[in-house]
């Protein structure tokens, strides 16, 4: 709640492209597509706390009502069950477009990235709203440049098992830039690197959620391949801060939003063992096709132009996620045990 005072007195040049210089900020009407999901629900918490009116548009494909249940009944909050593949009419100032089946087990065979993004851009164009796309580090594919900066065009297999997601997001970026150039929509593009934290889907097959759930359930940690592939893990509050700075700032992007702390999957398993259970075993499994070997963001651009950088290290952030997972896996009565 102390965020409200801070945000409501911020002065800015424009909000959603409309507010003149120096005016005090009023609550905005903000749509968050995918707002019942992991990242979206944390973003909604921050927007509500600073006094905005928030409309969540979600079809609950991977999101859960539980993630936003604490806002139901708040007059500044609305929840609409809707698939963004279908057109949608709303009057709003800003659109955070997160709706997307985002994990390997969910993202196949789904036109959300292309058709859903087109619809939300059409909406932004009609009402003059500012539009933010949550793209992904996957647009860099299996990168030949390391770390990856925004100027790198990527190395993506267009016909592989991951390409629905990679190419879907690349197309979403293309559509976003076309609406910016062709229809003068105010757009922002974030390229999000692997993010973890409370409310993450427990069984969607991501490595952090898998390892944490496995360690808590006393199952072996499943390391795919030789475990020497790397990822850079960002805590969700750092991401939300970056998304809001991007939306409020003057730069289109794309901007990498990620934590440059890079870990092999074996190193990640060690952090999980240290945090949850030092006796957790490791079991090797065959890796999936087209798995990127290395990934680490170059965040120079976001540091310079947005004044943003992540603050929470993996060893600090992981315990916060473990508390949430423990509650969801075992129920509240177990949270004080072990």
Is 83 one of the binding residues for ligand NAD (CB under 6 A)? Answer: yes
> Rounded distance, CA 79 to CA 211, Å?
32
Instruction: Answer for the pair 148, 194: CB distance below 8 angstroms, yes or no.
Output: no
Annotated active-site residue 165? The verdict is yes
> Rounded distance, CA 40 to CA 100, Å?
11
Instruction: Answer for the pair 57, 82: CB distance below 8 angstroms, yes or no.
Output: yes
> Rounded distance, CA 91 to CA 81, Å?
17
Q: Which of 123, 187, 276, 314 binds ligand UDP (CB under 6 A)?
A: 123
Q: Which of 32, 77, 116, 130 binds ligand NAD (CB under 6 A)?
A: 116
Q: Residue 104 binds which entry of ligand NAD, ligand UDP, none, with Cβ cut-offs from 5 to 8 Å by kind?
A: ligand UDP
Q: Which of 64, 106, 125, 328 binds ligand UDP (CB under 6 A)?
A: 125
> Rounded distance, CA 105 to CA 72, Å?
30
**How many CB atoms lie under 10 A from the CB of residue 87?**
12
Nearer to ligand UDP among residue 134 and residue 194 (C-beta): 194
Residues 258-297 that bind ligand NAD (CB under 6 A): none
Q: Residue 111 binds which entry of ligand UDP, ligand NAD, none, with Cβ cut-offs from 5 to 8 Å by kind?
A: none
Nearer to ligand UDP among residue 48 and residue 322 (C-beta): 322
Q: How many of the chain's residues bind ligand UDP (CB under 6 A)? A: 24
**How many CB atoms lie under 10 A from the CB of residue 235?**
22
> Rounded distance, CA 81 to CA 19, Å?
30
Q: Residue 98 binds which entry of ligand UDP, ligand NAD, none, with Cβ cut-offs from 5 to 8 Å by kind?
A: ligand NAD
Instruction: Answer for the pair 92, 52: CB distance below 8 angstroms, yes or no.
Output: no
DSSP states along 251-283:
----EEES---EEEHHHHHHHHHHHT-TT--EE
Residues 228-257 that bind ligand UDP (CB under 6 A): 229, 231
Which listed range, 10-18, 85-93, 252-260, 302-310, lies at the site for ligand UDP (CB under 6 A)? Answer: 85-93
Is 89 one of the binding residues for ligand UDP (CB under 6 A)? Answer: yes
Strands 262-264 and 94-97: unpaired
Q: Which of 110, 145, 287, 300 binds ligand UDP (CB under 6 A)?
A: 287
Instruction: Answer for the pair 78, 48: CB distance below 8 angstroms, yes or no.
Output: no
Is 206 one of the binding residues for ligand UDP (CB under 6 A)? Answer: yes
> Rounded distance, CA 123 to CA 80, Å?
16
Q: Which of 4, 19, 85, 282 binds ligand NAD (CB under 6 A)?
A: 85
Nearer to ligand NAD among residue 204 and residue 277 (C-beta): 204
What torsion do the CA atoms of 245, 143, 194, 93 make, to the nearest 10 degrees?
A: 30
CA 272 to chain centre: 22
Q: Which of 5, 87, 111, 319 binds ligand UDP (CB under 6 A)?
A: 87
Q: Which of 16, 37, 242, 297 binds ligand NAD (CB under 6 A)?
A: 37
**How many CB atoms lie under 10 A from the CB of residue 218?**
11
Is 100 one of the binding residues for ligand NAD (CB under 6 A)? Answer: yes
Among residues 96, 107, 140, 165, which one is catalytic? 165
Q: Which of 15, 29, 40, 214 binds ligand NAD (CB under 6 A)?
A: 40
What are the residues facing 219 on neighbouring strands?
A: none
Residues tagged active-site: 165
- Interface with ligand NAD (CB under 6 A): 33-34, 36-40, 57-63, 83-85, 98-102, 112, 116, 134, 136, 192, 194-195, 201
């Amino acid at each position: 709640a102390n965020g409200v005072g801070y945000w409501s007195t911020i002065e800015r040049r424009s909000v959603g492209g409309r507010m003149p210089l120096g005016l005090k900020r009023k609550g905005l009407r903000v749509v968050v597509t995918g707002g019942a999901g992991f990242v979206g629900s944390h973003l909604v918490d921050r927007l509500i706390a600073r006094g905005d009116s928030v409309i969540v548009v979600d079809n609950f494909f991977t999101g859960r009502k539980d993630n936003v249940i604490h806002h139901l009944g708040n007059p500044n909050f609305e929840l609409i069950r809707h698939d963004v593949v279908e057109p949608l009419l709303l009057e709003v100032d800003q659109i955070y477009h997160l709706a997307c089946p985002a994990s390997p087990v969910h993202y196949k065979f789904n036109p959300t990235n292309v058709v859903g993004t087109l619809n939300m851009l059409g909406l932004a164009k009609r009402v003059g709203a500012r539009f933010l796309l949550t793209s992904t580090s996957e647009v860099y594919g299996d990168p030949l440049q390391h770390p990856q900066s925004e100027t790198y065009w990527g190395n993506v297999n267009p016909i592989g098992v991951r390409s629905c997601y990679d190419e879907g997001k690349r197309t979403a970026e293309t559509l976003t830039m076309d609406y910016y150039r062709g229809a003068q929509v105010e757009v922002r593009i974030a390229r999000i690197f692997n993010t973890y934290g409370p409310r993450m889907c427990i069984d969607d097959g991501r490595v952090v959620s898998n390892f944490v759930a496995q360690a808590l359930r006393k199952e072996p940690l499943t390391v795919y391949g030789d475990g020497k592939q790397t990822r850079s893990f960002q805590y969700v509050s750092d991401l939300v801060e970056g998304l809001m700075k991007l939306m409020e700032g003057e730069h289109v992007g794309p901007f990498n939003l990620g934590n440059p702390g890079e870990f092999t999957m074996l190193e990640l398993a060690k952090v999980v063992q240290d945090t949850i259970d030092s006796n957790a075993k490791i079991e090797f499994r065959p890796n999936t096709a087209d798995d990127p070997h290395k990934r680490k963001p170059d965040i120079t651009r976001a540091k310079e132009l947005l004044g943003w950088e992540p603050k929470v290290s993996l060893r600090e952030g992981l315990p916060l996620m473990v508390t949430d997972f423990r509650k969801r896996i075992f129920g509240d009565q177990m949270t004080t045990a072990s």
